[in-house]
Structure 1
Amino acid sequence: MGRRMLEFVSLNGPDHVGKTTQIRLLADRIPGVQPLGSVHEHDREAWDRVARTDYARWWFEQSSTEELTRMLLTSHRRRSAARSPNRLALLDRGFPMLVAVAAATCTVRDGLDTSRALRTVNGIAADMGSFPDEFSVLLLPARDVECSLRITSSRAGRPWTGVYPEYQTALHAVLVEQARRGVYTHVIECGDRTADAVHDEILAAVRNAMPGAWSAGSR
């Protein structure tokens, strides 16, 4: 029996890890790829509605964990449905990363530890039914939370303020825990590696998952 066609590749990771760069490089290198962007682009009415007021306050104070999780994953489902037949879709933050975002927010807002927050969000996601399979790549600065935070914060260009430092700490902790649990298809510890070196590893992993998808002359 032949290998099932790969339909979705997602790039995941904390802010300032290089996701945007890698998405652009993949779009340039993979023939016929369909970039689908972020979930917000596929459910604009819902996200514009909450953004009309104080977006950060809604996100961290007014919304519930269930509301935020369902909103993120409903938008993800809409995005997945936008894939054209027989094309490989490229996602900016896939299903496991959206779970991580909701769990990190739950940690900040509800005071839960990483394991309980993940259990809560995964339970909500399971209640929503199945989601399409994806080849999920996690770009992780380091598997040590403090080291990972130090690397990405140094690239931010300005100090993190308000609730953002607490959220980023929680997000890195969730991502490290997900990596430990084997949630992602492929984990790359970026550290101080160049964008080209990281890209070569991503491309090799995706190529291995979809043999024959490149012509002999493709890089």
Structure 2
Amino acid sequence: MPEFISLNGPDNVGKTTQLRQLAGRWTGFQLLGAVHEHDPGPWERASEAGDYATWWFEKSTTVELTSMLISGHAKRATARTPGRTGLLDRGLPMLMAVAAATSVVKEGLSAREALWTVREIAAPVPAPQETSVLLIPSLHPERSYAITSVREGRAWTGIYPRYQRVLHEILLRQAEEGTYALVVDCEDRSLDEVHGCIVDGIALPLPTPPLGMEDDR
């Protein structure tokens, strides 16, 4: 088993559901959650500054945001119990995609320029080795965005729709570059089928999965 497995993908694709299902199948898995849970101080200060979206998309710099994401990622890795496989809700590739998409909508960089920039910022910080899986609603970026926005249940407003569209484009760009160990096209697949793709795709020696997973994406 790898030391870390990360599930990556846009909002509402089912990452949390799949992580819980994996954790329930083997005691050697350890849910480690999201980066802000392991380095809460900077995120709490950002929230206290007022409108969180304004801080994220206007006040924070690309260096500040990327550094916060990477710091939380590094601290999260230290929470893993030796001998267990840490399950990550958004791994390093996804964090790079988030920072890059934010940079695109905030600073007007191209996706290529933004990805290069955030990778340079993150490079000095040692990152844990992970097996990264991308769950994507569709291999077409606009279709992928449409699926997840409908699942939100309420309209995204302000800069967020633009950010989400760019994020989907960057995730698919990463997939084309071979960033992820496994890419799962979730369109027209049930949760059980997606789960099977994950387990088979990274060759996890796990017991037979439970049937009829609850769809709580």
Counterpart residue identity of residue 179, structure 1: A
Once the two structures are superposed, the pairs formed by residues 1-219 of structure 1 within 5 Å of their partners are 6-52=2-48, 53-126=50-123, 128-206=124-202, 208=203, 214=206, 218-219=207-208
SS of equivalent to 2:24: helix
Listed as ranges, the gaps of 5+ residues in structure 1 are none
SS of the residue 2:31 aligns to:
strand
Structure 1 residue 205 displacement after superposition: 2.7
Structure 2 CA distance, aligned partners of 1:68 and 1:190? 29
Over the aligned positions, Cα root-mean-square deviation in angstroms equals 1.2
Please give the secondary structure, in 2, of the residue aligned with 1:155. helix
TM-score by length of 1: 0.91
State the AA in 2 paired with 1:83. R
How many residues are aligned here? 207
Q: 1:152: how far off?
A: 1.1
Quick one: distance in 2 between partners of 1:130 and 1:24?
A: 27
Post-superposition shift, 1:32? 2.0
User: In structure 1, what is the Cα distance between the partners aligned to 2:108 and 2:119?
Assistant: 17
Question: 1:162-207: CA deviations, max 9, x gaps?
Answer: 111011011001101000101011000101210010001111234x
- Deviating beyond 3 angstroms after TM superposition, the runs of 4 or more aligned structure 1 residues are none
- The equivalent of 2:213 in structure 1 is none
Say which SS state the counterpart of residue 76 (structure 1) adopts: helix
Query: For the residues of structure 2 that align with 1:179 and 1:200, how far apart are their CA atoms?
Result: 20
CA distance in 2, matches of 1:104, 1:18: 20
Letter in 1 for 2:140: D
Query: TM-score if structure 2 supplies the norm length?
Result: 0.92
